[in-house]
Structure 1
Amino acid sequence: MEEYFRKIIEAVGEDINREGLVDTPARAAKAFKFLNRGYELKLEDVLNDAIFEADTEDMVIVKDIELYSLCEHHLLPFVGKCHIGYIPQGKVLGLSKLARIVDMYGRRLQIQEKLTKQIADTVESAIGAKGVAVVIEAKHLCMMMRGVEKQNSVMTTSVMTGIFRKEISTRSEFLNLINRQ
């Protein structure tokens, strides 16, 4: 990977032997691996048996989970926040596991639409929830730094499964709770 970064730097017209760039291919390779570390993770390891029996059927929400990913079309970052809600059906997830699921899929080359669905499907299948709601709000550097160069645009995606899709009142409660300050 270092050699590819070296070639990219030279291809844009830079002198790879310039003092500030001598170690850049190695640093860039290390950073790119870090930014895409989600490929090295397995769901079983991320969940780490943190699925617990619970007799509650009330909504569980974790909001404002920081999200960092790379757009698979331009390899530029998109950053934002993810909100997850679910209605348990006998089982709940350890609190940090929701954030770890976001990181596992976010730290891969992605599109936001697919990422939103991956998170919802994973939570639903992990605990057999009655329904899952996921909303992601993110700014995409591929839209801010190039192309149309719109600095204040935010993309919002949502996936609703089960009771969140069927019951407007459940969906409305979730959306109202994530929008409270």
Structure 2
Amino acid sequence: MENAFAKIISELGEDLDREGLKDTPKRAAKAMRYLTQGYEQSLEEVVNGAMFPSDNSEMVIVKDIELYSLCEHHMLPFIGKAHVAYIPQGKVVGLSKIARIVDMYARRLQIQENMTKQIAEAIQEVTDAAGVAVVIEAKHMCMMMRGVEKQNSSMKTSMMLGSFRDNPATRAEFFSLVS
């Protein structure tokens, strides 16, 4: 990966021996490995057994989970936040695990639409909830820095499973609580 970054920098017409660029290929490779560490993680490792019995059957929401990802089309960042909810059926997942699940999928080359679905399905798999809802809102550098260059645009995606899909009142409660 370091050699690939060196080639990219050279192809830009830069001098790899210039003081500011001497270690850039190594730093860029290290940064890319960090930004895509989600490929090295599994759902089982992330959750790490943090499931707890609970008789709660009311909505659990974790909102404003910041996320940083790279679009798979241009490898430019998109930055935003996720709102995740589920309705437990006998067990709950550790609070930090929801944010870790978001991070695992965000730290891959992604499109927001797929990431939203992946997070919802992972929460469903882990919790066996009566319903799961995920909303992600993000700003995409591929739209802000290049192309149409629209600085104030953002994208919202949602995925509703189970009772969030089937019950309009449950869906409405979720949206009112995350607004």
TM > 0.5 fold call:
yes
**2:71 corresponds to which residue?**
71
Mapped pair 1:94 → 2:97:
no
Query: Structure 1 length normalisation: TM-score?
Result: 0.98
User: Residue 26 of structure 1 aligns to which amino acid in structure 2?
Assistant: K
C-alpha displacement of 1:96:
0.2
Aligned length: 179
User: Residue 82 of structure 2 aligns to which amino acid in structure 1?
Assistant: C
**1:36 corresponds to which residue?**
36
**1:9 corresponds to which residue?**
9
C-alpha displacement of 1:13:
1.1
**1:109 corresponds to which residue?**
109
C-alpha distance in structure 1 between counterparts of 2:36 and 2:104, whole Å: 9
C-alpha displacement of 1:42:
1.4
User: Residue 113 of structure 1 aligns to which amino acid in structure 2?
Assistant: E
User: Residue 177 of structure 1 aligns to which amino acid in structure 2?
Assistant: L
Query: Structure 2 length normalisation: TM-score?
Result: 0.99
C-alpha distance in structure 2 between counterparts of 1:16 and 1:152, whole Å: 36
Mapped pair 1:53 → 2:53:
yes
Structure 1 alignment gaps of length 5 or more: none
Structure 2 alignment gaps of length 5 or more: none
**1:135 corresponds to which residue?**
135
Residue 148 of structure 2 aligns to a residue whose secondary structure is coil
User: Residue 112 of structure 1 aligns to which amino acid in structure 2?
Assistant: Q
**1:19 corresponds to which residue?**
19
C-alpha displacement of 1:99:
0.1
Moved over 3 A (4+): none
RMSD (Å) for aligned C-alpha atoms: 0.5
**1:146 corresponds to which residue?**
146
Residue 73 of structure 1 aligns to a residue whose secondary structure is coil
C-alpha displacement of 1:160:
0.3
C-alpha distance in structure 1 between counterparts of 2:163 and 2:45, whole Å: 28
